[in-house]
Amino acid sequence: MPERVAYFGPAGTFTEEAALRYAPQGELVPCPTIAAVAAAVVAGEAQKGVVPIENSLEGSVTDTLDLLIHQSNLFIQLELVLPIVHCLMVRPAAAQKDIEVIYSHTQALGQCREYLEEHFPRATLVASLSTAAAAEQVRKSDHPTAAAIGTARAAELYGLSVLSRGIQDNPANVTRFVVLAHTDHPPTGDDKTSLCFSFGNDRPGLLYAALGEFARRSINLAKVESRPTKQSLGEYIFLIDLHGHRDDPGIKEAIQMLRAQASVLKIFGSYPRYAASNG
């Protein structure tokens, strides 16, 4: 029986592309939101879930971070990194000069900001639930002035014509996706660990001391950022990606020391570091 893999859908999104990359023989289950992907895995409707977590141009996907912090006890089991190639698509026979409204996901609109400002400074930009949903909106529209930004596959699925390819502002545009599961990954020797922590009482030097636990053990921090706790203005949760597995002796010791300082500490998981050769 093929593995059931939930993903932030519908079909034609970049997340579907990531899910296909992860499980080419799997049974893909589209979900309307990132939270719904996690819910499908928790309920046993799927064994794994694929969601976006970070884009090289627009930064972190906050819905995924908030899910990991507040709403789910699932683990990150794997990461994938995919190049993002955005296409401008319209109904057949529509011309670029006629475009007055452009639909897409907010991330896609942001990733094509310079292109849109140069070519469509007067167009109305409308946020959609996904890039595929944007393509569907254009297909159902009776107006030839509508366009969408999304994948070439979405254009095929919804019978649209691609006017321009590769309209993202940066050719190095990539998105990092993660596979959510009930367990994380055993050590491979080339791993990454993601976690978050916060402090109950603020005082000078708290964050410095916390990060120092990793520096003293020569543990490389790949990313450090913060998110509001959603409990009080000015209170933050800190998120870290570090090189190594949570079962590595040095990392285990650093996390233990950090746990003693923090009021909250949650490990999102340890998993193999992405490399183009194994992705």
User: Could you confirm whether 177 is annotated as catalytic?
Assistant: yes
Residue 81 host element (H or E): strand 75-83
Q: Which of 14, 75, 177, 268 is catalytic?
A: 177
The DSSP secondary structure of 116-152, one letter per residue, reads HHHH-TTPEEEE-SSHHHHHHHHHH-S-TTEEEEE-H
Total residues belonging to the chain? 279
Which residues contact residue 225 at a Cβ distance below 8 angstroms, ignoring those fewer than 6 apart?
60, 238, 239
User: Could you confirm whether 175 is annotated as catalytic?
Assistant: yes
Identify the burial level of 277 via C-beta atoms within 10 angstroms of its C-beta, where 0-12 means exposed, 13-18 middle and 19 or more buried. exposed
Nearest to 151 by CA among 227, 85, 80: 85
Q: Which of 131, 175, 193, 214 is catalytic?
A: 175
In the 8-state DSSP scheme, what is residue 96?
A: G
**Could you give the CA distance from residue 23 to residue 15 in angstroms, rounded to a whole number?**
12
Collapsing DSSP to helix, strand or coil, 6 comes out as: strand
Nearest to 245 by CA among 183, 181, 179, 193: 193
**Could you give the CA distance from residue 122 to residue 222 in angstroms, rounded to a whole number?**
40
Contact 148, 156 (CB under 8 A): no
**Could you give the CA distance from residue 52 to residue 35 in angstroms, rounded to a whole number?**
12
Catalytic positions, please? 175, 177
